[in-house]
Amino acid sequence: MKAEPLGSSKAIGLLLTAFSFCVVLSNPSKGADADLFDWSARELALIQSLSLSQLLPPPSSPSNKYADDPEAAALGRAIFHDSRFSANGEVSCATCHRQDYGFTDDLPKGLGIGLASRRTMPIVGMAYQKWFFWDGRADSLWSQTLGPLENPVEHGIDRHQVQQLVLAHYSQPYQQVFEDDATNQPVDQVFANTGKALAAHVRTLLPEKTRFDLYAHALQSDSKETGILTEAETRGLRLFVGKAKCINCHNGPMFTNGEFHHSGTPDAGELDPGRGTAFLELEATEFGFFGKWSDADPEADGDHIRFLDRDTRKYVGTFKTPTLRGASDRPPYMHNGTFTSLAQVLNNYRAVSGSTLADEVSHGDLTDRDLNDLEAFLGTLSSNSNDVHN
């Protein structure tokens, strides 16, 4: 009884596949250009969904009432660049989150006081994220910024030192923003507020318009100036929203769903549980969204945390989808920095597609040219791409 409908739908599927093959095979004679720019309604909708024009202003940050305070952001920016906030006086946030390198660094793993266990994450567009770090173990941006300060291999200081440094160097701006003297406040409060100022700064790091965005805009306008992308880049875009299924995880104007997936990245024997251990840390921290120092209304806010599926078994070995904006400018790639080029990343996705390494990853049967085209398209997501192609 169960086999029959499955069989018939499979047969219909095969017929459809055969039919689309015929369509594909009959097309080359019509001339590549005409077909290349002939987008379906679904493709057009998906292309627009990726465009910066669809990016709303950053959502509010209920757990940080200073999130959109310019004075808090100015204080946060100063501390972000201040290497006094480290054990050896040489490491600031900007050491690894380099502005000249897409706010990340060029190393497989971050290098602060010591060697970090994962690649430095790019931090542009963090205002749009729900979870922070590769494993999402922080549920708010301000809470995330506190992690590296106390991590022995990153800044290597503790909250008491943070309070002393704030008192010594930022006493006045701190008082201005938080309306109290840091000497009067418990050390944890000063530490949390420092994180809130850092978060206010990081929220101002927003993506720049790229050649892809210009193309998406041109498709919508009367100009239809489709020459903004090369043929290879256009084919790559079609693969991205179609056969290669990249858009499943890299969706929305930030090219990420901010969720956690198995990517089938080789780990060279270094087992990293990723999201699998994050739930414990989410519950343990006193600096969380529902914690003592949060400004959120625990009744009204935080549904993404309240209803989070915490089934560790499902998420072991998953990592957060990173944004692809600017990615071509900032190798290496993946949570462990194992790939030095986008070509290697794309090759690996093809290699693990459909395997048990990455049950979620299914990218269709990609040819070598497909991979080249996808790489070409990813280059259009970099703001430097405006200069490259003129």
Partner 1 sequence: MHWLLLVLLSIFALPDTAGAMDAIGKVRRERPADLDASTTVATRYGTLQASYETDFPELPLNSVHTWRLSLQDKNGLPVVGADIDLTADMPEHLHGMTTTPLIQESDTPGLYLVRGMNFHMPGYWEVTLDISGAGSRHLLRFNLIVGESQRAPEGRKADES
Which two structure tokens, joined as six digits, stand for 304?
Answer: 């993404």
Q: Is 249 annotated as a binding residue?
A: yes
DSSP per-residue letters across 178-201: HSS-TTTS-HHHHHHHHHHHHHHH
- Is the Cα torsion angle 21, 27, 28, 32 positive or negative in sign? negative
Per CB under 8 A, 357 contacts partner 1: no
Which two structure tokens, joined as six digits, stand for 344?
Answer: 């290697």
Residue 299 C-alpha from the chain's centroid: 28
How many of the chain's residues bind partner 1 (CB under 8 A)? 52
Near partner 1 by CB under 8 A: residue from 37, 39, 48, 151: 48
* Angle, helix 141-150 to helix 159-169, in steps of 10 degrees: 100
End-to-end CA distance of the chain: 61
**Rg of the chain (C-alpha set):** 23
d(C-alpha 128, C-alpha 178), whole Å: 24
d(C-alpha 267, C-alpha 339), whole Å: 11
Pick the closer one to partner 1 by CB: 116 or 361: 361
Near partner 1 by CB under 8 A: residue from 220, 230, 277, 383: 220
d(C-alpha 169, C-alpha 181), whole Å: 13
Q: Is 22 annotated as a binding residue?
A: no
Per CB under 8 A, 224 contacts partner 1: no
Per CB under 8 A, 184 contacts partner 1: no
Per CB under 8 A, 373 contacts partner 1: no
Per CB under 8 A, 16 contacts partner 1: yes
Per CB under 8 A, 249 contacts partner 1: yes
DSSP assignment letter at 208: P
Per CB under 8 A, 88 contacts partner 1: no
Per CB under 8 A, 258 contacts partner 1: yes
Report, in Å, the least distance between residue 246 CB and partner 1. 11
Report, in Å, the least distance between residue 186 CB and partner 1. 32
Q: Residues 55 to 74: which contact partner 1 by CB under 8 A?
A: 55-56
Per CB under 8 A, 157 contacts partner 1: no
Site residues, partner 1 (CB under 8 A): 1-2, 5-6, 9, 12-13, 16, 41-42, 44-46, 48-49, 51-56, 209, 213, 217, 220-221, 247-249, 251-252, 257-262, 275, 303-304, 306-309, 311, 313-315, 318, 359-360, 362
